[in-house]
């Protein structure tokens, strides 16, 4: 895409990504840091992100789906790549041929992988996932306790990792954090040879008792605040700019946008920028968000539509069509925008549209 033609521009600061990785690495002490790069590295571009993190010393990458793991493998021949969503029937050969690790989420998947290892007379790597409180994927408590008594079921498998996942880590004082930590500590005693991993981004900042042998970091790497009650320690990685396409002068009682959601109280200048919900700028921001221009907060007025958003620029002298406004950037990061949209920064990142270019700073 021609940058000069694009009405939006997404900038990815790879130096900030590097600094975030280093901060997490310092925070975790002896625990190894792995990177979660599912959904195209949270929308930021898997190739640039994994190459940058690899150069910083990250050697283990996690995805949700097998196809995402194949994307990482196409970029990094020597990385350890783990798909988290489980071993589906018929996928065994793909994992073998591409040197990928499946995460075994139930006894059936464990048996299928063990049978495959025996059929090929190979000891093949995998991760196990025990559910200690999320009630989503993973061995249920009764299943992993039974496995702890019958560890011979793991014979023939190179079980490198034992995972669980915290449900409430972004709330540091939530009692489930201690309950899950203690349950995980109890059950892993039966599996001492594996690398144990409980903490994702938020869990890292709960303290060393949650770090175990490895942490799995995603959102914090990309600038998300890992703890709702502390000042965000992470550097901002993402900036999103929208170009002003036109400026209109209106007066009361003229309205702006779909549904006549906003009525001008008097004379105003309204700038229309080329960004909307198709670009990942949520419709929920209608008539309540702000964008930034040279450090000044400007209110979004009217309905955010598919391709366009309208902004009150009455108090900005000299602004003209072609100028760029900061939707995400200095003075307003993904966490701030998430609060305005009544959502979470994960959704902001992964919704960023595919039709505008990504510019990488610090390559």
Active site residues: 38, 258
Burial of 217: CB neighbours in 10 Å, binned 0-12, 13-18, 19+: buried
194 is in an annotated binding site: no
Half-sphere exposure of 128 (CA within 13 A, CB side): 32
| Residues whose CB falls within 8 Å of the CB of residue 241, separated by 6 or more in sequence, listed in order | 8, 9, 11, 324, 325, 326, 327, 329
The DSSP 8-state label assigned to residue 178 in this structure reads: H
List the one residue out of 60, 6, 13 whose CA is nearest residue 330. 13
136 is in an annotated binding site: yes
The Cα–Cα gap between 240 and 236 comes to 11
253 cis-preceded (ω within 30 degrees of 0): yes
The Cα–Cα gap between 289 and 12 comes to 22
The Cα–Cα gap between 301 and 344 comes to 22
Residue 111 CA: distances (Å) to CA of 92, 123, 173: 12, 14, 38
The Cα–Cα gap between 355 and 333 comes to 21
- Contact criterion met (CB below 8 Å) for 43 and 352: yes
Burial of 254: CB neighbours in 10 Å, binned 0-12, 13-18, 19+: middle
The DSSP 8-state label assigned to residue 139 in this structure reads: B
Token code pair at residue 75 = 């970029």
Q: In 63-73, which positions are buried (b, 16+ CB within 10 angstroms) versus exposed (e)?
A: bbebebbbbbb
| Residues whose CB falls within 8 Å of the CB of residue 108, separated by 6 or more in sequence, listed in order | none
Q: Give the residue carrying structure tokens 């998947």.
A: 109
From the annotation, which residues make up the binding site for substrate? 136, 306
From the annotation, which residues make up the binding site? 136, 306
């Amino acid at each position: 895409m021609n940058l000069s033609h694009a009405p939006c521009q997404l900038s990815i600061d790879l130096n900030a990504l590097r600094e975030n990785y280093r901060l997490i690495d310092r925070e975790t002490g002896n625990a190894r840091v792995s990177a979660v790069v599912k959904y195209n590295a949270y929308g930021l571009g898997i190739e640039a992100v994994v190459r940058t993190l690899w150069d910083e010393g990250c050697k283990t990458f996690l995805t949700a789906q097998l196809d995402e793991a194949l994307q990482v493998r196409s970029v990094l021949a020597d990385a350890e790549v783990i798909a988290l969503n489980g071993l589906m029937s018929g996928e065994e050969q793909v994992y073998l041929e591409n040197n990928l690790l499946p995460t075994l989420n139930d006894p059936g998947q464990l048996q299928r992988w063990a049978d495959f290892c025996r059929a090929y007379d190979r000891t093949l790597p995998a991760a196990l996932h025990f559910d200690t409180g999320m009630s989503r994927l993973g061995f249920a408590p009764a299943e992993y306790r039974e496995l702890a008594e019958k560890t011979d079921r793991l014979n023939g498998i190179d079980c490198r990792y034992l995972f669980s996942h915290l449900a409430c880590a972004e709330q540091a004082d939530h009692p489930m954090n201690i309950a899950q930590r203690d349950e995980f500590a109890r059950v892993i005693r039966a599996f001492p040879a594996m690398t144990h991993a409980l903490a994702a981004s938020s869990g890292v900042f709960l303290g060393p008792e949650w770090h175990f042998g490895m942490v799995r970091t995603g959102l914090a790497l990309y600038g998300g605040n890992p703890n709702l009650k502390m000042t965000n320690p992470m550097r901002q990685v993402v900036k999103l700019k929208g170009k002003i396409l036109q400026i209109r002068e209106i007066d009361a009682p003229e309205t702006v946008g779909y549904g006549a959601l906003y009525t001008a109280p008097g004379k105003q200048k309204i700038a229309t920028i080329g960004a909307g919900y198709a670009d990942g700028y949520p419709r929920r921001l209608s008539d309540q968000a702000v964008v930034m221009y040279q450090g000044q907060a400007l209110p979004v007025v009217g309905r955010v539509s598919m391709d366009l958003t309208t902004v009150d620029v009455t108090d900005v002298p000299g602004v003209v069509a072609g100028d760029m406004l900061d939707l995400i950037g200095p003075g307003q990061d993904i966490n701030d925008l998430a609060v305005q949209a009544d959502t979470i920064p994960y959704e902001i990142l992964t919704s960023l549209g595919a039709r505008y270019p990504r510019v990488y700073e610090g390559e």
